[in-house]
Structures are given as structure tokens and as C-alpha cells.
């Protein structure tokens, strides 16, 4: 097995270093505290050709794979820049659009999305169903060749500023299907439609991408807005979930590494007793070393998950493990960094504690650790289903 990156992959991985010279962690935090989307940085990424990494060149993308996309996300996060929009907009939306969309849909959306001219969100979670997507109640009923979408979605990232959304809906209620996964349909929905109401959800974690509660009231959709086949959208849905987990893991790895690197720099300079750098003290050195080991282990699993996905093989086992461990390792890495910085770690000047809320969020979103462990227990280890 070859662990070396190709020259192209190394350049993609190191892109975050060059981007951070213009749009650094401070820029990201300024946007986050104002709850403003990092538009200038996002457009720079688009202009440099990185929004459509997994989209074919004929539609304006780079024609690369999940490995390169994960390397890109990790490289940005190495510099303290977690770009959530690369997950929900580029990968979860543009990927399925290319794989399952009609030629007309690809021509209409992909090139502009790769260029940053339009943005996508992904709407799946509902207030009542939560992680139990099977019992989703948002429904699109067909009438005279049209579909009319009604229901609610919650915690939809960047919904207010997105131009379009991939909306997971039922076209047959879950009580009327033979198999529980039947009856799902994905729609490409104009998020500016007058029959969509949006309610802002204030969250405590400081991130630039905002969260929204959506209300669909007879949103009219045509056959041209259906992604894939009517009633067979569950396979498309699952096609987007493993990439989501892989990229969440890549971000967790990068942010954990960023926190540790900051702590190492500080520990080599900070002196308190006997003019000895505090990094020489094993009480600080060992937690940092353990954190480094765990982050790199999470990074290896993330790259394996991305590689397996690119081979067209089932990637659920490794994607879930990577996401779980990256969130856990990231949180422990920041905790070790905080202990190293002492009181300074809690100040805005040093900005170490600011890293923690995002990493802690990864234990819960986009899928909580308990459901991931359920998946590993049942589907990987063969244990009985408990829910």
C-alpha cells in the first residue's frame, strides 16, 4: 500500500497554506462572530477551481475524487479554516447532481455551482423525525403532472443564502410503502420560492454558516426538478451520506492538528520555572504527544475511507469510524492544547478555546456519535439492532 501523495494531491493538500495567507483563521472568526458567510474566501476557492473537485471537467469541475476532496478540506482545517459549505454545497449536492441528474440538470446547475455563481444547501433533517429519516413527513403530492411540496426541515445549513437546495421528501407516506426505504424522492428546489418560509435558528457554536428552520407550503415543482427517479431517492440519499462523514472527519483532523501545532509553538517559548520551556514538562508533553498520535490515526482512517469510496466499494464502515474518531480525537487535542496555554487559552487574543465548540459539534452533527456506534455495532460487528 502506497501512503505517498501524488504531486497533484500534495498541491491540493497544501492549498490551505496559501489560502490562509489571504483568508486566515482571524478572517474566518470575524465572519463567524458576525454570522456572515465567508463570501470572499468562498469565491477565491471557486476561482482557484476547488469547489467542483469531484465534478467532471465537462461541467466545470476538476474530475477528481473523494481522496482529493478530503485532502483539500483537511488542508484548510490545518490552518483553522473549516469550510462547511464544501460539504453541504459542493459534495452533498453537486456530487449527486452529476451522478443522478439529467443532462439538462447538469448543464443548468453544475458549471455555475463550480464557479461559485450559485450555492446549494441540503435539506434532510425534520423537527419530528430527527435522525429517523424513515419517518420523515415532508411530502410532495403529484397533481396534474406537478408536485406540491409541504412540510418542514430543521438545522439546514446556509439555507437563507443558498440559491437552490436538494430537499429529501416523501412522495409516498412511510405508512403506505412495502419497504420502509421506498417512497423517497429528492427535489431540486429554488430556495427563493415565495412559498418557502425560513426561520433563523440561533446556535451557540460560533460558525459563519447559519442554521434555518424551513416551512414548505405547496411549493410547486415540475418533473424537471426531480433528481433521479420518483420514489427511489433513498439510494441517492445514501450516496451523499458517506462523503459527508468523510469530510467532517477531515475537518476534525485538520482542526485538531491546528490546535496542537499552536500549543507546540507556545510550549517551546513559554517559560515559567527555572527558565525552562513548559514543553519540556511531561505533564504537558505527554497529552500533546497522545493528541498528535490520535489525530494522525484519525487522519489515516479518513484517507482510507476516501480511498475506498473512490474505488466504488461500500465505504460506510470506514466513513463512520473516521467521523467518530476524528471528532473524539479533535476534542481531546483541543483539551490538551487548552491545558498547555493555561489561562491564555481562554482569551480572545490566543483563540484556542474558540476551536473547541466546532469540534464538539462534530460529535453531534452531521450524525451523532451514538448512531455511528449503532451502525458499527450492527453493520460491522453483526450485533443485534436495538432501535
| Per-residue pLDDT, 359 | 96
> b/e for 224-233, b at 16 or more Cβ within 10 A?
ebbbbebebb
- CB-based contact 118:109 (threshold 8 Å): yes
Give the mean model confidence (pLDDT) for residues 337-348.
97
| Per-residue pLDDT, 86 | 80
DSSP 8-state secondary structure symbol assigned to residue 344: G
| Per-residue pLDDT, 87 | 85
What is the C-alpha separation between 116 and 110, in angstroms, rounded?
10
Whether residue 366 is preceded by a cis peptide bond, meaning omega within 30 degrees of 0, is yes
- CB-based contact 225:188 (threshold 8 Å): yes
What is the C-alpha separation between 166 and 186, in angstroms, rounded?
6
Query: Taking the CA atoms of the chain, what radius of gyration do you get in angstroms?
Result: 21
Q: Is the pLDDT of residue 242 over 80?
A: yes
What is the C-alpha separation between 107 and 84, in angstroms, rounded?
25
CA–CA–CA angle 100, 322, 32 (5° rounding): 80
Q: Judging by beta carbons within 10 Å of its beta carbon (0-12, 13-18, 19+), is residue 276 exposed, middle or buried? A: exposed
CATH number of 121-231: 2.40.110.10
What is the C-alpha separation between 180 and 183, in angstroms, rounded?
8
Q: Is the pLDDT of residue 252 over 90?
A: yes
Contacts by 347-356, CB closer than 8 A, 24 or more apart: 350/262, 350/266, 351/25, 351/29, 352/259, 352/262, 352/263, 354/29, 354/206, 355/80, 355/255, 355/258, 355/259, 356/331
| Per-residue pLDDT, 38 | 95
What is the band of 240 on the pLDDT scale with cuts at 50, 70, 90? confident
- What is the residue-averaged pLDDT of the chain? 95
CATH number of 235-380: 1.20.140.10
CA distances from 320 to 67, 213, 241, 302, 330 (A): 16, 27, 10, 9, 15
Residue of 10, 83, 79 lying closest to 255 (CA atoms)? 79
314 backbone dihedrals φ, ψ, rounded to 5°: -60, 125
- CB-based contact 227:166 (threshold 8 Å): yes
What is the band of 15 on the pLDDT scale with cuts at 50, 70, 90? very high
Indicate the domain borders of the chain: 7-119, 121-231, 235-380
Q: Is the pLDDT of residue 1 over 80?
A: no
What is the C-alpha separation between 76 and 113, in angstroms, rounded?
20
The percent of residues above 70 in pLDDT, for the chain, comes to: 100
pLDDT tens-digit map of 187-222: 999 999 999 999 999 999 999 999 999 999 999 999
Residue of 117, 83, 120, 84 lying closest to 101 (CA atoms)? 120
CATH H-level, domain 7-119: superfamily: Acyl-CoA dehydrogenase/oxidase, N-terminal domain (1.10.540.10)
What is the C-alpha separation between 287 and 292, in angstroms, rounded?
9
pLDDT tens-digit map of 277-336: 999 999 999 999 999 999 999 999 999 999 999 999 999 999 999 999 999 999 999 999
pTM of the model: 0.95
Amino acid at each position: 500500500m502506497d501512503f505517498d501523495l501524488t504531486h497533484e494531491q500534495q498541491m491540493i493538500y497544501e492549498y490551505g497554506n496559501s489560502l490562509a495567507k489571504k483568508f486566515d483563521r482571524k478572517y474566518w472568526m470575524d465572519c463567524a462572530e458576525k454570522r456572515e458567510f465567508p463570501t470572499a474566501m468562498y469565491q477565491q476557492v471557486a476561482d482557484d477551481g476547488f469547489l467542483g473537485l469531484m465534478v467532471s471537467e465537462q461541467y466545470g469541475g476538476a474530475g477528481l475524487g473523494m481522496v482529493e476532496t478530503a485532502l483539500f478540506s483537511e488542508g484548510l482545517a490545518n490552518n483553522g479554516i473549516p469550510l462547511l459549505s464544501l460539504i453541504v454545497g459542493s459534495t452533498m449536492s453537486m456530487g449527486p447532481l452529476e451522478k443522478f441528474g439529467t443532462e439538462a440538470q447538469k448543464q443548468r446547475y453544475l458549471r455555475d455551482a463550480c464557479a461559485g455563481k450559485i450555492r446549494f444547501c441540503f435539506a434532510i433533517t425534520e423537527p419530528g423525525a430527527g435522525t429517523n429519516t424513515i419517518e420523515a413527513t415532508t411530502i410532495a403530492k403529484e397533481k396534474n403532472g406537478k408536485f406540491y411540496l409541504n412540510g418542514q426541515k430543521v438545522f439546514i445549513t446556509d439555507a437563507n443564502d443558498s440559491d437552490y437546495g436538494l430537499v429529501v421528501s416523501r412522495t409516498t407516506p412511510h405508512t403506505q410503502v412495502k419497504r420502509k426505504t421506498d417512497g423517497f424522492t429528492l427535489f431540486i428546489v429554488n430556495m427563493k420560492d415565495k412559498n418557502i418560509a425560513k426561520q433563523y435558528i440561533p446556535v451557540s457554536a460560533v460558525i459563519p454558516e447559519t442554521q434555518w428552520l424551513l416551512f414548505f407550503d405547496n411549493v410547486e415543482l415540475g418533473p424537471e426538478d426531480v433528481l433521479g427517479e420518483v420514489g427511489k431517492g433513498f439510494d441517492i440519499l445514501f450516496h451523499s451520506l458517506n462523503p459527508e462523514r468523510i469530510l467532517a472527519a477531515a475537518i476534525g483532523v485538520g482542526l485538531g492538528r491546528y490546535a496542537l501545532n499552536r500549543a507546540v509553538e507556545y510550549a517551546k517559548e513559554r517559560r515559567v520555572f527555572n527558565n525552562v520551556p513548559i514543553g519540556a514538562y511531561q505533564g504537558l508533553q505527554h497529552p500533546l504527544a497522545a493528541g498528535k498520535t490520535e489525530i494522525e490515526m484519525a487522519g489515516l482512517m479518513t484517507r482510507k475511507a476516501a480511498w475506498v469510496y473512490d474505488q466504488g466499494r461500500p465505504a460506510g464502515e470506514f466513513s463512520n469510524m473516521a467521523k467518530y474518531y476524528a471528532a473524539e480525537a479533535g476534542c481531546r487535542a483541543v483539551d490538551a492544547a487548552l491545558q498547555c496555554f493555561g489561562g491564555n487559552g481562554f482569551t480572545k487574543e490566543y483563540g484556542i478555546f474558540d476551536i473547541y465548540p466546532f469540534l464538539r459539534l462534530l460529535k453531534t452533527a452531521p450524525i451523532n456519535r451514538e448512531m455511528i456506534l449503532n451502525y458499527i455495532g450492527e453493520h460491522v460487528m453483526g450485533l443485534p439492532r436495538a432501535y
